[in-house]
Structure 1
Amino acid sequence: MDLYNLIKGLTFLLMTLLGIFGNAVIALYFLGILHQKQKLKTSDVILSNLPWTNLIMILTRGVPHSLLVFGIKNMFNDVSCKVITFAFRVSRAMSICLTCLLSCYQCATVASSNPKWSYIKHKMQTFLLPTFIFLLILNSAVHIAGAINALSGRNSSRLLYTFNMGYCIVVFPDQFSFQANGYSIFTRDLVFVVLMTLASIKILLILYYHGKRIRGIKNPEENPESTKESRASKMIVILVSLYVFFFGIDSTIWLYQTTVSSEVHIVITDIRFFFSICYGSFFPIVILTFNKKIRTALKYSASGSQQEENDISYIKGHNE
């Protein structure tokens, strides 16, 4: 294995393991909340779905690509290639849509003192489930063509209009379908990125003017609820910033591939693949940094497990 492939393999493996472990921890935390039958806030309901979409995205992109780099080939047949291509693309799309939905809801929350924003917040709460279903149907419809054209075990060196993932290829019959698929995905991404960016800018402006107003009051009493909302808002703004950066590079390369190049080279694909899993891998770090409840639950769980091990050791030593 040459130096490039070794570095690429280790990098993908590290990012994949980080993403799987981090998102699994957060997903299990929310499952525990549901198991205890505690009611989640609307923002937490949206947030709780993100680790699952990230997990699917990393498992269907990071894992097979890491295995491919280390010489494991022919992992999938045609049917499994269609499934894994569809699962990755839909999970990636749901990740951007849920991040956008989360930022828009948080924007409505921090601006809810305005009756119009309060009305928008109420409507988003009311139609949250139909919104999830609509986004899933929309993204499935956008990506069904890619899944249908996914194949495995074919030599793509002479095939035009082909996306080569190494372990699977997506072959389009002509230039029109190739570019139509690329434009539809890029347009969808652009719409949601613009929406989440505008929502984040609005959040930052509200926080700025709120902080300026608070500083003008002598000896203000700190409002815990306001502090939590501020921390949650900052977390969401950072998530959006990461998303715009990572998936902006991903989408730019995607647009280049569909408009300039009729055949996608593997090095360019490697770069796009790397940035496509970066958001899922860094997502848990941001959540754990800003979400005090999850950090506290993990510390309590870890200390409880340690205490249980100490009790068992004490009992064994006492019996001996």
Structure 2
Amino acid sequence: MGSESVYIVIIFSFQTLIGTLGNLFLLGKYIFLYLSGHKTKPIDLIIMHLIVANLLVILFRGVPEILAAYGLEDFLSDFGCKFVYYISRVGRGVAFGSTCFLSVFQAITISPNNCRWTELKLKFPKYINTLTTLLWVLHLLLNICFSVSLTMKLRNKNVTSKIDFAYCSDPNTKRGIYTGHAVLTAIFDVSCMGLMLLACGSMIFILFMHKRRIQHIHRSNHYFRSSAETRATHSILILVSIFMFFYFMSCIMQIYVTFFHHSRILLFTLDAFISACFSTVCPFVFMNCGHCVSGICCFYGQRNRVT
């Protein structure tokens, strides 16, 4: 095993271990609360779907890369190649969509009662299960065409049109399939990104305006609310900034490997690492300040029911 492979094993092992433990810990927390009889809030359901999608991305992108870097040959069959890459793509799409739902739900929750979203505030939580189910179905269908031509690693060097991943190959590369899939994925991604940015922008504006209204009041409970709003705003900015950074980095890599046939295996490995970065960092953002977001949503929900 060369020095390059050693670095790949170390990096992916660390990423897979940290990301898996972080997401499992957060998922275990929600499962424990559910089994303890606590009522599950709609925001908790979205976060649990996001956690499951994160685990799929981390495990189905990281573990095969580790095994391939170790030098194991043909550890995946044709079906295994299709299944592993398919599940990782589904997980990536659901993680993206869940992050969008989370941002939109928070924006609706903290919006004041005189907002035009008042009716939507009452109806949206009822459709969370339906929307998340449709999200899974959409990506289960969308990513089928992308994985059907994948096979186990080919040793035939005469197949000039193939694409080599670290552990699989695509001997019948058709630019139309990759281009069509890239266009459909881009449409979904751009739509979600636009909704997410609008939702986060509205949340920041609402919290900022509320902070200005109460800054002249000196009671301690208002100081606590102001502090909670500040932490919630920071957590939103951190989560969205991290997501956008890794998303655009992944987009650059995917565009390159989609439209250039002679891409090196290392580029696919780098794309796998970048794709799993957000899923690895995400649970720790929630652990550090995600409760602030949930708390501020609860505070606004209680305030709006009273007023």
Post-superposition offset of 1:182: 1.9
Whether 1:118 and 2:122 are equivalent positions in the alignment is no
Post-superposition offset of 1:170: 3.9
Number of aligned residues? 292
Q: What is the SS of the residue equivalent to 1:169?
A: strand
- Compared with structure 1, are the counterparts of its residues 73 and 258 closer, same or farther at alpha carbon in structure 2 (3 Å cutoff)? same
- Compared with structure 1, are the counterparts of its residues 122 and 150 closer, same or farther at alpha carbon in structure 2 (3 Å cutoff)? farther
Q: What is the SS of the residue equivalent to 1:216?
A: coil
Q: What is the SS of the residue equivalent to 1:221?
A: helix
Q: What is the SS of the residue equivalent to 1:116?
A: coil
Distance in 1, Cα, partners of 2:125 & 2:240: 21
Question: Could you tell me which residue of structure 2 aligns to residue 164 of structure 1?
Answer: 164
Cα displacement string for residues 64-120 of structure 1 (whole angstroms, at most 9, x for unaligned residues): 112211222322101111111111100110000000000011011121433422222
Contact kept in structure 2, 1:161 and 1:171, CA below 8 Å? yes
- Identity among equivalent positions (%) equals 25
Query: Which residues of structure 2 form unaligned runs of 5+?
Result: 293-307
Cα displacement string for residues 194-240 of structure 1 (whole angstroms, at most 9, x for unaligned residues): 22122112212222222222213344632877866764554343222
Q: What is the SS of the residue equivalent to 2:100?
A: helix
Q: Which has the larger radius of gyration?
A: 1
Question: Could you tell me which residue of structure 1 aligns to residue 38 of structure 2?
Answer: 38
Q: What is the SS of the residue equivalent to 2:39?
A: coil
**Which one-letter code corresponds to 1:215 in the other structure?**
Q
Q: What is the SS of the residue equivalent to 1:37?
A: coil
With 250-259 and 281-290 compared, the bigger mean Cα shift is at 250-259
Q: Report the TM-score when normalising by structure 2.
A: 0.86
Q: Please list, as runs of the form range in 1=range in 2, the aligned pairs for 1:17-96 lying within 5 A after superposition.
A: 17-96=17-96
Distance in 1, Cα, partners of 2:49 & 2:176: 35
Post-superposition offset of 1:14: 0.6
Post-superposition offset of 1:7: 2.1
**Which one-letter code corresponds to 1:78 in the other structure?**
D
Contact kept in structure 2, 1:50 and 1:95, CA below 8 Å? yes
Question: Could you tell me which residue of structure 2 aligns to residue 134 of structure 1?
Answer: 134
Q: Please list, as runs of the form range in 1=range in 2, the aligned pairs for 1:221-232 lying within 5 A after superposition.
A: 221-222=221-222, 231-232=231-232
Cα displacement string for residues 280-312 of structure 1 (whole angstroms, at most 9, x for unaligned residues): 11112111111459xxxxxxxxxxxxxxxxxxx
Contact kept in structure 2, 1:90 and 1:139, CA below 8 Å? yes
- Compared with structure 1, are the counterparts of its residues 71 and 124 closer, same or farther at alpha carbon in structure 2 (3 Å cutoff)? same
Question: Could you tell me which residue of structure 2 aligns to residue 15 of structure 1?
Answer: 15
Question: Could you tell me which residue of structure 2 aligns to residue 104 of structure 1?
Answer: 104
With 123-132 and 97-106 compared, the bigger mean Cα shift is at 123-132
Post-superposition offset of 1:252: 2.0
Whether 1:275 and 2:274 are equivalent positions in the alignment is yes
Cα displacement string for residues 151-203 of structure 1 (whole angstroms, at most 9, x for unaligned residues): 11324755566553211234555222221122222232222122212211221
**Which one-letter code corresponds to 1:5 in the other structure?**
S
With 227-236 and 21-30 compared, the bigger mean Cα shift is at 227-236
Whether 1:177 and 2:213 are equivalent positions in the alignment is no
Contact kept in structure 2, 1:56 and 1:87, CA below 8 Å? yes
Q: What is the SS of the residue equivalent to 1:222?
A: helix
Contact kept in structure 2, 1:109 and 1:118, CA below 8 Å? no
Contact kept in structure 2, 1:186 and 1:255, CA below 8 Å? no
Distance in 2, Cα, partners of 1:285 & 1:211: 27
Contact kept in structure 2, 1:160 and 1:262, CA below 8 Å? no
- Compared with structure 1, are the counterparts of its residues 2 and 118 closer, same or farther at alpha carbon in structure 2 (3 Å cutoff)? same
Q: What is the SS of the residue equivalent to 2:143?
A: helix
Q: What is the SS of the residue equivalent to 2:250?
A: helix
Question: Could you tell me which residue of structure 1 aligns to residue 304 of structure 2?
Answer: none
Distance in 1, Cα, partners of 2:100 & 2:156: 36
Query: Which residues of structure 1 form unaligned runs of 5+?
Result: 294-320
Contact kept in structure 2, 1:12 and 1:65, CA below 8 Å? yes
Contact kept in structure 1, 2:146 and 2:177, CA below 8 Å? no
Cα displacement string for residues 25-84 of structure 1 (whole angstroms, at most 9, x for unaligned residues): 111111111212211211111112211111111110011112211222322101111111
User: Once superposed, what is the RMSD of the aligned Cα atoms?
Assistant: 2.4
Contact kept in structure 1, 2:257 and 2:268, CA below 8 Å? no
**Which one-letter code corresponds to 2:214 in the other structure?**
I
Contact kept in structure 2, 1:111 and 1:206, CA below 8 Å? yes
Distance in 2, Cα, partners of 1:74 & 1:142: 27
Q: Report the TM-score when normalising by structure 1.
A: 0.83
